[in-house]
Amino acid sequence: MTPDQIESAVAASMPQAIEELKRLAAIPSVAFPGHPEEPVFAAAAVTEELLRSVGLPHVQQVAVEGSFPAIYGEAPAPPGTPTVLLYAHYDVQPAGDPASWRTPPFEPTLIDGRLYGRGCADDKSGIISHITALRAFQGRFPVGIKVIIEGQEEYAGERLEAFVERNPDLLRADAIVVADTGNPRVGDPAVTTSLRGMAAFTIEVRSLKEAVHSGSFGGAAPDALAALMRMLTALHDDNGDIRVPGLPRGSFLGHGPSEEEFRKTAGVLDGVSLVGSGSLADRLWSSYAITVTGLDVPTVSGAVNAVQPVSRARVTVRVPPAGDPKTTVNAVVEFLRQVAPWGVQVSFGDFTVGSGFQADSGGKARSALNRAMERAFGRPPRDVGAGGSIPLVNTLLKQFPAAEILLFGAEDEDAAIHAPNERVDLEELRKVATTEALFLQELSLPSALGI
């Protein structure tokens, strides 16, 4: 196919792609413990159906130990062409408080060219970009294709890592496209070359056998919630820099967002300062970050006059690409033990770790992607980092060191992933799908093959 034909095919299929994204994003496929499992399996079934619809001769659900099924598809490589592995995930973050959403989180809503709803960007847009790119070839793919769509990336992505380590031949490829990142801004093409790793755990603090009256016992009885709050605030100094020994600030060799751009994207309120030291690129892409992502405490509306006997928190640590998540989480846990006040009982559990990633920006596949992205977006891409984590990427790098791993997608910085009012820009989605289709064609050409 010519580039013009590919662009026309993607554009013609966009109405179908939008309807497919709506259908997929309407499924509350939250794979966190405590959430219904039926919607997760329903999303797996729809994903399998979509992959079958684009002409892949082999599609199946594959069991992942301790997790939800992954969807796998493949088409053999034409003689003399490479094989490309396409990755995305069909599970989503919890929606959080529905009152924080301007539209219902699981009723995808189209407003001014953008589709709003949980998972519309992260990462069901990645699934649809793969589907739309593959559909352009009507079953006659220019290169070998393998597809893996996992079902529990947001909560326990390390389970697919173990699957990859046990089944390397299933996913072996010459180039790997990870459609779970995005551009700094809509229309500003970029390839993510750096990912932070992640470590997360739950901390529990106990101080009393049971809650006691705050009037009769307050002032002497140790409050578990107060103890936990003291411990969590000790993680950072007054400037917002991390106080845990052994977690130094890093540096990113490249340009990050300006403070004005970042404040606007993050929604920082007027008069509120940013936290931490160093450039924004350093803080966001090459340094450690510790965030309390959940706290078990009585609600304000349900508050009673009692000293709390137990309190729990979920803590997430972002780890620079060169850092070790296991060493990092051990350092944070040990620090929290040391700063625990009043002899309270402290326990930790529900650990999750995932490694970071640093890409080589050269190579034939990257050159092919540069050409494809420049045609789709009208200008060449630049290298950027990402503060988020994709646990599978480093495992793929270790298993397939000769493969080029390419990270791009439709999740621009304003997409509000993991937050209320998540959305995907549909024109961005079209350009990303066009990029991927052009890339697959480019990779089959003699210039990309070194002929």
Q: From the candidates 7, 20, 91, 425, which is the catalytic residue?
A: 91
Give residue 434's pLDDT.
98
Sign of CA dihedral 397, 359, 288, 89: negative
Assigned CATH for 197-247+288-354: 3.30.70.360
Q: What would the mean pLDDT of 264-271 be, rounded to a whole number?
A: 92
pLDDT for the residue numbered 126: 98
Return the higher-pLDDT residue of 371 and 359: 371
175 pairs with which residues across the strands? 84, 404
- Read off the tokens for 97: 């408080």
- Positive or negative, the CA dihedral 280, 284, 286, 292 is positive
Residue 259: is its pLDDT beyond 90?
A: yes
Which pair of structure tokens corresponds to residue 15? Answer: 């109405």
**How does DSSP assign 220-276, residue by residue?**
TSPPHHHHHHHHHHTTB-TTS-B-STT------SS----HHHHHHHHTPPTTPPP-S
pLDDT above 70 (res 57): yes
In this structure, CATH architecture of domain 3-195+357-444: 3-Layer(aba) Sandwich (3.40)
Catalytic residue among 7, 150, 153, 414: 153
| 401-414: pLDDT as tens digits | 999 999 999 999 89
Residue 91, C-beta contacts closer than 8 angstroms, at least 6 positions apart: 29, 30, 31, 40, 43, 68, 150, 151, 152, 153, 154, 155
Q: What angle do CA 353, 325, 393 make, to 5 degrees?
A: 65
Q: Concatenate the DSSP letters of all residues of 380-433 into one string.
A: --EEEEESS--HHHHHHHHH-TTSEEEE--S--TTS-TTSTT-EEEHHHHHHHH
Indicate the domain borders of the chain: 3-195+357-444, 197-247+288-354
Amino acid at residue number 410: A
At 38, which helix (H) or strand (E)?
Answer: helix 38-53
Give every strand in the sheet of 197-206, ordered side by side.
Answer: 289-296, 310-319, 197-206, 345-354
Q: What is the pLDDT of residues 425-439, one digit of tens each?
A: 999 999 999 999 999
Give the C-alpha separation, 434 to 91, whole Å: 24
Query: Is 153 an annotated catalytic residue?
Result: yes
CB 181 within 8 A of CB 411: yes
- Would you say 182 and 387 are in contact if contact means Cβ atoms under 8 Å apart? no
Residue-wise pLDDT for 117-145, tens only, equals: 999 999 999 999 999 999 999 999 999 99
| 33-63 core/surface letters (b: 16 or more CB in 10 A; e: else) | eeeeeebbebbbebbbebbeebbbeebebee
**Residue 132: strand, helix, or coil:** helix
Q: Are 385 and 194 in contact (CB under 8 A)?
A: yes
Per residue in 300-358, pLDDT (tens digit) is 998 999 999 999 999 999 999 889 999 999 999 999 999 999 999 999 999 988 888 88
Structure tokens at 407: 């990270």
Cα separation, 242 vs 247, whole angstroms: 7
Answer yes or no: are the C-beta atoms of 91 and 151 closer than 8 Å.
yes
What percent of the chain lies above the pLDDT cut of 90? 83
What proportion of the chain, given as a percentage, has pLDDT over 70?
A: 98
